[in-house]
A = this chain, B = another copy of it.
Amino acid sequence: MSDADTASPPLTAAALATRAAIVATAERLFRTMGYQKTTVADIARELKMSPANIYRFFPSKSAINEAICGGILVEFDAAVWAIARGPEAPAERIRAVFRLLQEQTIALFFHERRMHDMVAAALEEHWPVIDQHVHTIDAAFGHIVADGQAQGVFAPLDAEMTGRLLHLTCVMFTHPTLVEQCQDTKDLPLMAHAMAEFCLRALRPDAPAA
């Protein structure tokens, strides 16, 4: 659910169901017809309701898209956090998150080209769902760093800041615009792997003073 919802009064069960139906129908149309070509009237027709009824729930097509992207990103975030909280050694978790971020981005943006346009629109419009996603991944990395520090395998750096930095080193294989501009996406798995190993070197504890 998007940040914007927190300002509205709570919805009844029936209203929530309608809202979910609008989101599900819009997502199907965006994926098949494309985001730009789908109108609110198209969505209303599919749902056998009036456009005015849709506008009771969402002020614009862009707001529907925000709800859809928010849902996708929440799933994405949950997969990253499942790794971050997992039983593997902290270094393995860092490697796994790098791999997941890289693979999911390619899957999302290349195999589902229309989805790419939706998320790219989200980035250009600075939606709260995007900020929330970025902070959630920063925090997942920070969590692994803190765990590694507790186990004595990572250096005692600022865990929160280090989480942000780790996430920033992934930008070239997670940001839709950069992935789109990348001319050799088959290099991305190798680069993600190399970057993870490079970052793990930075996390090594300092040698004890002689």
Residues of A within 8 A of B (CB): 123-124, 126, 131, 155, 157, 161-162, 164-165, 168-169, 171-172, 175, 177-178, 181, 183, 191, 194-195, 198-199, 201-204, 207
- Indicate whether A126 sits within 8 Å of B204 (C-beta atoms), given known contacts A198-B162, A198-B165: no
Whether the Cβ atoms of B172 and A168 lie closer than 8 Å is: yes
Which residues of chain B come closer than 8 Å to A177, judged between CB atoms?
Answer: 177-178
Residue from B124, B195, B207 in contact with A207 in the complex, judged by beta carbons closer than 8 Å: B207
Which residues of chain B come closer than 8 Å to A165, judged between CB atoms?
Answer: 191, 194-195, 198
Chain B, residue nearest A168 (CB)? B172
Which residues of chain B come closer than 8 Å to A203, judged between CB atoms?
Answer: 201
Question: How many chain copies does the complex carry?
Answer: 2
Whether the Cβ atoms of A178 and B171 lie closer than 8 Å is: yes
Which residues of chain B come closer than 8 Å to A124, judged between CB atoms?
Answer: 181
Chain B, residue nearest A173 (CB)? B168
Q: How far is the CB of A138 from chain B (nearest CB, A)?
A: 12
Q: How far is the CB of A37 from chain B (nearest CB, A)?
A: 22
Whether the Cβ atoms of B202 and A201 lie closer than 8 Å is: yes
For the complex, what is the distance from the CA of A207 to the CA of B201, rounded to whole Å?
12
Chain B, residue nearest A190 (CB)? B161
Q: How far is the CB of A134 from chain B (nearest CB, A)?
A: 10
For the complex, what is the distance from the CA of A124 to the CA of B178, rounded to whole Å?
10
Chain B, residue nearest A207 (CB)? B207
Which residues of chain B come closer than 8 Å to A168, judged between CB atoms?
Answer: 169, 171-172, 191, 195
Chain B, residue nearest A125 (CB)? B181
Q: How far is the CB of A164 from chain B (nearest CB, A)?
A: 8
Q: How far is the CB of A181 from chain B (nearest CB, A)?
A: 6
A123-B181, A198-B199, A201-B203 given; name 6 further pairs at CB < 8 Å. Answer: A157-B198, A165-B191, A165-B194, A171-B172, A171-B178, A201-B202
For the complex, what is the distance from the CA of A181 to the CA of B198, rounded to whole Å?
27
Q: How far is the CB of A126 from chain B (nearest CB, A)?
A: 7
Q: How far is the CB of A120 from chain B (nearest CB, A)?
A: 10
